[in-house]
Amino acid sequence: MLLICAMWLTGCAQQPLAPKSAADDDTWSGRLALQVEGQDSQSFSAMFELRGNPGRGGLVLLSPLGNQLAQLDWKDGHAQLVSAQESRTSDSLDTLLQEVTGTRIPVTALFSWLKGTPATAPGWRADLAGVAQGRLVAHRDDPQPQATLRIALTR
């Protein structure tokens, strides 16, 4: 996991997001941080550009200098992660995200949360009080280890 985070942080290729298509619902950008607690505490933070919806979309992770660290695209039950060091594919976005981050991230709920809409995700609770100000915090208590996802949107 730490190797993958290190690869993300050392990537340097810049590629723009693909043009927005009619299938994409929304676009967000800002900063995100994921902290996974436990014996081997892990954290990751990056700037991001997110587009689409749970069924079709893309996520670009960027360094503080704006260099692309990784790009994740998904559609039709297929997900692909590309970074300067590797390329991975999976038939499940959830599985690929868990492999990369070390924890399950509730993608469907995340899109709802970013819109300020409550959504349930097993083990997760989201604080939507700051969404209007561009802030989202979600905590996972179960299963262990605990995880916290923080997002600060740019306007």
Residue 64 · residue 47 · CB < 8 Å: yes
| CATH 2.50.20.10, domain 2-10+27-153, yes or no | yes
Residue 90 · residue 76 · CB < 8 Å: no
pLDDT at 100: 76
Residues 129-147, buried b or exposed e (16+ Cβ, 10 A)? eebeeeebbbebeeeebeb
Q: What is the pLDDT of residues 35-88, one digit of tens each?
A: 988 767 678 889 999 999 999 999 998 988 889 988 999 998 899 999 888 899
Query: Domain locations in the chain?
Result: 2-10+27-153
Indicate if the pLDDT at residue 125 is higher than 80: yes
Phi first, then psi: give them for residue 32, nearest 5 degrees: -135, 150
Q: What is the pLDDT of residues 102-120, one digit of tens each?
A: 778 898 999 999 999 999 9
Residue 50 · residue 75 · CB < 8 Å: no
